[in-house]
Amino acid sequence: MIAPPPWTGRSDGSGLEHLRWHHVVRPYEPDNVAENGCVVIGFASDEGVRRNRGRPGAAAGPDALRAALAGLALDRARSIEDAGTLAVTAGELEAGQAALGRTVAAAMDAHRLPVVLGGGHEVAYGTYLGVAASRLRQGRPRLGILNLDAHFDLRGDPIPSSGTPFRQIAAAERTAGTTHRYDVLGISQPSNTTALFDTARQLGVRYLLDEHCGSSDRDRVDVFVTDVLDAVDLVYLTIDLDVLPASVAPGVSAPAAFGVPMEIIQRVCDRVTVSGKLAAVDVAELNPAFDIDNRTARTAARLIHRIVVGHVPPVPTT
């Protein structure tokens, strides 16, 4: 684990009324009790993107997200810790995902919300490993995975990549004898082959196309999210930034030609974080080398900020 860079930013004063993220973030101390706290975990990887023949650069995402978060204002003092960053080297993706899983599980067992900063969307399998191994999952068998994404990421390739994590999760759930529900909001039809739509149907994946997630489709989106939340005990939320329009999120591995409006994505995140079921969240595919004026990083930081400040933690089972 690489120690995080210093959190720095503007300071307008020393009082609580001037709080920003960089004022409150402290090193992760898993043995300390942090009521309604969160822990930031970096996952610096673009190995999965490279294997999926995408444009590399997402490994620089975690530090860019930290920089974008640092100056955001907080309404009050909050428990926010930084565990540092897992750096994945070429050929070591599977080991990196396993290490991430252990870190996520430990954070959940210490009553924190893990906020994982990717990295390519291969981060999803690592986050899932942590959720699956946590004590919280053991007491809540109905796991829901809500993916905000233009892609299913259900490829059946023999070598894991950023395009395979949810196929891997389905296989892991079968092997463990457990079940999960996988829903995707923002699917781009031109970006997913008929074979991938067929795989989604075979696996019982529920999805909403990006063209059905516009500003005028709020009611349809609300019904979709309500159906997810009502059907599960625990939610793992994963946000692939390519779900947003390229004008909003240009700095991603695969920019969207259409995309889902920011107001809809924010609305979904707000509903999930206050549900009392959100156990872990990750943000994937920020590629700072292709960002414009830090636009993508700032957008992602706003989503993370709202999730953290609005989060209602699941009640531990006895």
Q: Could you read off the pLDDT of 162-216 as tens digits, one per residue?
A: 999 999 999 999 999 998 999 999 999 999 999 999 999 999 999 999 999 999 9
Angle, alpha carbons 86-277-88 (nearest 5°)? 10
The answer to whether the beta carbons of residues 280 and 117 sit under 8 Å apart is no
- Helix (H) / strand (E) element for 91: namely none
133, with CB counted inside 10 A (0-12, 13-18, 19+), is middle
Q: Give the torsion through C-alpha atoms of 42, 46, 48, 52, to 10 deg.
A: 150
* Strand residues in the chain grouped as ranges (E): 26-27, 37-44, 80-87, 112-118, 143-148, 180-187, 206-209, 234-240, 278-284
Measured in degrees and rounded to the nearest 5, phi and psi for residue 159 equal -105, 120
Per-residue model confidence (pLDDT) at position 317: 62
Question: Taking the chain, what is the end-to-end CA distance rounded to the nearest angstrom?
Answer: 32
Helix ranges, 134-217 (H): 135-138, 165-176, 194-202
Q: What is the pTM of this model?
A: 0.96
**Interior/surface letters 37-55, b for 16+ CB within 10 angstroms, e for the rest:** bbbbbbbbbbbbbbbbebe
Residues in Cβ contact with 228 at an 8 Å cutoff, skipping those fewer than 6 apart:
144, 146, 181, 183, 206, 235
pLDDT digits (tens, 9 = 90+) for 212-234: 999 999 999 999 999 999 999 99
Residue 72 CA, distance from chain mean position:
19
Residue among 175, 47, 32, 54 at smallest CA distance from 106: 32
pLDDT at 134: 95
Q: Which residues pair with 235 in a beta bridge?
A: 144, 278
Q: For the chain, which ranges sit under pLDDT 50? A: none
- CA neighbor of 124 nearest in space, from 169, 80, 86, 90: 169
User: What CA–CA distances, in Å, run from 111 to 30, 35, 83, 118?
Assistant: 9, 7, 14, 22
Question: What is the per-residue pLDDT for 318?
Answer: 54
Which domains does the chain show, CATH number per domain? 16-310 (3.40.800.10)
Neighbouring C-beta atoms of residue 175, cutoff 10 Å:
8
Token pair recorded at residue 265: 């994505």
Q: What is the pLDDT of residue 153?
A: 95
pLDDT at 53: 82
- The pLDDT of residue 90 is 83
Rounded-to-integer distance, Cα 197 and Cα 180, Å: 19
Lookup: tokens for 171: 């296989």
Cβ proximity of 97 and 35 under 8 Å: no
